[in-house]
């Protein structure tokens, strides 16, 4: 069971794992001879980490944060907007991960894969920062 006082620490720990995995994937794509099999394997691990993180946010963090705001008669519009933005980011990311789940898809479309990967990484890193420097601060 996750205790409320540990939730942000856990979420930030998951962010650190996601950052590490994204960096490792990016480094592999910048290799002289990118190995699409290794990259595809890393994408599988990344997808699992991301799904675990999203589940924790969607099922525990955001519902409890909304309840907290409602009990204090605070406006939840910004939180709802933040959740909706992440749903869009999550769908785009999952579409990307499904499109490139096989090494041969990565290899046959490498320039587009790499471009899309960099866009996904950039978006997720910005999102991570906005959570840690924004919405997570409301948990206190």
- 40-97 residue pLDDT tens: 999 999 999 999 999 999 999 999 999 999 999 999 999 999 999 999 999 999 999 9
DSSP string, 37-89: HHHHHHHHHHHHHHHHHHHHIIIIIHHHHHHHHHHTT---HHHHHHHHHHHHH
Is the per-residue pLDDT at 3 higher than 80?
no
Q: Quote the CA–CA distance of 58 and 64 in Å, as a whole number.
A: 10
Predicted TM-score (pTM) of the model is: 0.93
CB 29 within 8 A of CB 114: yes
Closest CA to 127 of 85, 96, 93, 91: 85
How is residue 35 annotated by DSSP? -
- For the stretch 119-137, pLDDT in tens is 999 999 999 999 999 999 9
pLDDT of residue 5: 79
Give the separation between CA 11 and CA 36, rounded to whole angstroms: 30
The predicted model gives 95-101 an average pLDDT of 97
pLDDT at 103 over 70: yes
Measure CA 91 to chain center: 11
Burial of 77 (0-12, 13-18, 19+ CB in 10 A): exposed
| pLDDT in the model for residue 140 | 77
């Amino acid at each position: 069971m996750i205790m409320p006082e540990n939730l942000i620490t856990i979420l930030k720990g998951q962010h650190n794992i996601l950052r590490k995995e994204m960096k490792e994937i990016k480094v592999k794509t910048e290799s002289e001879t990118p190995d699409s099999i290794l990259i595809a394997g890393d994408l599988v691990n990344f997808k699992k980490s991301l799904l675990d993180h999203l589940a924790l946010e969607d099922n525990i963090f955001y519902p409890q944060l909304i309840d907290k705001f409602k009990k204090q008669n605070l406006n939840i519009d910004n939180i709802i907007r933040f959740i909706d933005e992440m749903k869009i980011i999550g769908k785009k990311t999952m579409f990307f991960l499904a499109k490139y789940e096989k090494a041969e898809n990565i290899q046959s479309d490498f320039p587009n894969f790499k471009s899309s990967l960099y866009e996904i990484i950039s978006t997720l890193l910005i999102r991570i920062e906005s959570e840690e420097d924004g919405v997570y601060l409301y948990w206190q």
